[in-house]
Amino acid sequence: MGVLRVLAVTMGRISTFRSYQIMLLFAAALAVVAFYYFGSEKQNFSSTTKRIKETQASHNSNRDDADLSTDIRSGSPESRTGAGDELEGKPSRVHALMMFTKVDKSLSLQQKFQVAMRSVAKHGRFLEDEVLVLHYVSDAGSRELGEKMLPELLLDATFRYETEGGILILWQKGHFNVLADMPSELKRIVQLDLDLKFRSNIRDLFQEFNQFPTEAVIGIAREMQPVYRHTFWQYRKENPKSRVGDPPPDGLPGFNSGVMLLNLDSMRRSTLYNQLLEPERVARLAEKYHFRGHLGDQDFFTMIGMEHRELFYPLSCGWNRQLCTWWREHGYGDVFQLYYRCDGPVHIYHGNCNTAIPDY
């Protein structure tokens, strides 16, 4: 089913559900948009890649996902190539997607984008024949700003990269306007929030795909605050022996979508995942869990993860070390540390709820 048809069917049924179900159906619609409309021609994000766009017919035929089985954490790249440089041979591409809306109107978002991209450039190391392809969900004003900022922010990058539009979705008067699709042969992508700071090689994050169990379609870290302990309060009251909303290691604290590994190929093939995108299934789960979320796709993945954990590969907390402590000061100080604790190395800091990210 095409994305616009799926979206139309989903939105057409929304009026029959209560307000909290509307949110979940909207999240499901976002998931449909993000994962179902691959297959048409991609568009370039930056004018510096115009030459690549002009040759995309042959270029696309070479877009195989990179083999990231080789560990180069202690190695160093042997070449440096910017977005406008000539790419020889058939380089392997790895894809990252970042939300990039309203950035032109927010100095804070611009500063977060600078931190994220500079940290990627500082720590990023790829093999000589690999290319990091950056996609953005953007609006017109932010897109123009991004085209100006990226060359400077990635100036010190020691790896090949391309900046492209990939998916471009605009929110206009309550409707999604899908302007460009990603290539159908794209099999995996990493989705990143804007408020991140890398302390490790982003290439190592892509290697986590190799750890996915057979049925997993998404790699995602747990939520590090008791937000879902709060959100699922009624279900927890009715089911006192349930692990829903409990802290790790034995509980189900929910997910945080600041860093996600999306196995698009597996998503397309998974009968279970596709069934869970149906509005009726979303509504039934929302009814069962008395769920009233407010965090969009994160809520959707958290809810389906309560019953279908096999769909998710749990990233270690170090790949999404969330820093927000809001719930510690809002009624959950006694249990907060049970959720917030993160042992092991930190690879990515996540400054969620506008929390300052350490300089080290």
Beta-carbon-side half-sphere exposure of residue 183 (alpha carbons within 13 Å): 24
Give the chain's domain count: 2
Going by DSSP bridges, is the β-strand pair 168-172/175-180 parallel, antiparallel, or unpaired? antiparallel
Task: Over range 26-38, report the average pLDDT.
Answer: 50
Tokens of 145: 């700003």
Report pLDDT for 19.
Answer: 52
Of 163, 141, 173, nearest in space to 82 by CA: 163
Q: What angle do CA 262, 266, 270 make, to 5 degrees?
A: 120
Report pLDDT for 297.
Answer: 81
Q: Domain for residue 194, yes or no?
A: no
Q: What angle do CA 335, 301, 231 make, to 5 degrees?
A: 40
Q: pLDDT category, 288, cuts 50, 70, 90? A: very high
Entry pTM: 0.79
Q: pLDDT category, 27, cuts 50, 70, 90? A: low
pLDDT digits (tens, 9 = 90+) for 157-202: 999 998 765 434 443 333 233 333 456 678 999 999 999 999 999 9
pLDDT digits (tens, 9 = 90+) for 77-112: 433 333 333 334 567 999 999 988 899 999 999 999
Same domain, 136 and 270: no
The last residue of one of the domains, among 153, 185, 217, is 185
Same domain, 158 and 278: no
Of 96, 28, 12, 87, nearest in space to 303 by CA: 28
Same domain, 130 and 88: yes
Report pLDDT for 43.
Answer: 35
Report pLDDT for 37.
Answer: 40
pLDDT at 17 over 60: no
How many residues can be counted in the chain?
A: 360
* E strand residue ranges, the chain: 92-100, 130-138, 160-164, 168-172, 175-180, 188-192, 196-198, 218-222, 255-263, 312-315, 321-322, 348-350
Domain hosting 239: range is 3-37+208-354
pLDDT at 222 over 90: yes
Same domain, 305 and 339: yes
Same domain, 52 and 159: yes
Going by DSSP bridges, is the β-strand pair 130-138/92-100 parallel, antiparallel, or unpaired? parallel
Q: With helix as H, strand as E and coil as C, how does 15-81 read?
A: HHCCHHHHHHHHHHHHHHHHHHCECECCCECCHHHHHHHHCHHHHHCCCCECCCCCCCCCCCCCCCC
Which residue, chain included where needed, has tokens 């590994």? 261
Residue 135 three-state SS: strand
Q: Domain for residue 201, yes or no?
A: no
When the pLDDT of each residue in the chain is averaged and rounded to a whole number, the result is: 78
How does 36-45 read in b/e, with b if 16+ C-beta sit within 10 Å?
bbbeeebbbb
Same domain, 78 and 29: no
Q: Domain for residue 175, yes or no?
A: yes
Task: Over range 308-323, report the average pLDDT.
Answer: 98
Same domain, 105 and 24: no
Q: pLDDT category, 231, cuts 50, 70, 90? A: very high
CB 46 within 8 A of CB 83: yes
How does 13-30 read in b/e, with b if 16+ C-beta sit within 10 Å?
eeeebeebbbbbbbbbbb
Selected residue with higher pLDDT from 281 and 83: 281
